[in-house]
């Protein structure tokens, strides 16, 4: 039995050798420190690439760059990593394992990330051992969520807080509503028509079983269900 588990561990490490890893984070010092940690403290060799904005990452994807792991922050300058993930199918093709690595986290963010294709949701407060566990589990096809965020999910389940599945666009509209944007302003920001925005708002009403914008915003804000915009 011991030999069996040892072989599983060795197999996992073998899968995690000579990796190509992307760090997508606009905090330069954090990204550089994480790069050093990945290259010196983890049990495998790796090439680590840092992208401080989504434009540079998109350019690499367009040039057919592939990654074994991609660590994606949620707030990247004025952009949102979760929204980018949901709107960029190419990212799922070029990155085998996408892990959200952020100081932010709530039930909606976690659901949005997993449903958009992420395999993990890690807190920036994690240590190297947890980072290694996340890499091993996600490389074996499992979903990994940091313990601190699992508690968030459990608390929502206990309190029976409704967290419906939202499309990327619906989540984006909800975030703008919570930030007090008008329908016209949201349409301008998202480069869509006001009619389309109203359609998304109607979808949100149906999914949350709420029929007023003020009640929707109050519910989402109170329960931490809105995604950050910047």
DSSP string, 19-62: EEEEEE-S-HHHHHHHHHHHHHTSSS-EEEEEESSHHHHHHHHH
Containing domain of residue 53, as a range? 2-157
- Residue after which a domain boundary falls, among 116, 134, 157: 157
* Same domain for 179 and 67: no
105: helix, coil or strand? coil
* Same domain for 202 and 89: no
Q: Are strands 144-145 and 19-24 parallel, antiparallel or unpaired?
A: unpaired
Q: Is residue 230 part of a domain?
A: no
User: Taking the complete model, does pTM exceed 0.85, yes or no?
Assistant: no
* Same domain for 136 and 205: no
- CB-based contacts of 18, cutoff 8 Å, min separation 6: 44, 45, 46, 47
Contact in structure between 107 and 163 (CB atoms under 8 Å):
yes
Contact in structure between 161 and 171 (CB atoms under 8 Å):
no
Q: Is residue 49 part of a domain?
A: yes
pLDDT tens for the 230 residues of the chain, in order:
554 445 444 445 445 458 999 999 999 999 999 999 999 988 888 999 999 999 999 999 999 999 999 999 988 888 888 889 988 989 999 999 999 998 877 777 888 888 889 999 999 999 999 999 999 999 999 999 988 887 666 655 544 555 678 888 888 898 888 888 899 999 998 899 999 999 999 999 998 888 888 888 878 877 766 666 55
With CA atoms as reference, report the closest residue to 178 among 114, 222, 113: 222
* Same domain for 146 and 80: yes
| CATH for 35 | 3.40.50.2300
């Amino acid at each position: 039995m011991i030999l069996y588990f040892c072989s599983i561990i060795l197999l996992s490490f073998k899968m995690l050798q000579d990796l190509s890893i992307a760090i997508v984070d606009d905090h330069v010092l954090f990204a550089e420190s994480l790069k050093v940690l990945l290259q010196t403290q983890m049990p495998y060799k790796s090439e680590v690439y840092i992208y401080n904005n989504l434009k540079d990452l998109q350019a690499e994807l367009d040039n057919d760059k592939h990654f074994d792991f991609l660590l994606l922050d949620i707030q990247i300058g004025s952009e949102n990593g979760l929204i980018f993930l949901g709107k960029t199918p190419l990212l799922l093709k070029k990155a085998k394992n996408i892990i959200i690595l952020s100081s932010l986290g709530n039930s909606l963010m976690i659901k949005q990330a997993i449903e958009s294709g992420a395999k993990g949701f890690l807190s920036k407060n994690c240590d190297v051992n947890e980072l290694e566990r996340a890499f091993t589990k996600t490389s074996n096809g499992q979903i990994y969520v940091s313990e601190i965020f699992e508690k968030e999910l459990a608390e929502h389940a206990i309190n029976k807080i409704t967290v419906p599945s939202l499309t990327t666009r619906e989540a984006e509209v909800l975030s703008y509503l919570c930030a007090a944007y008008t329908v016209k302003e949201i349409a301008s920001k998202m480069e869509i028509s006001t009619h389309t925005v109203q359609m998304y708002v109607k979808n949100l009403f149906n999914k949350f079983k709420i029929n007023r914008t003020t009640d929707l915003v109050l519910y989402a804000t109170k329960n931490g269900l809105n995604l950050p915009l910047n």
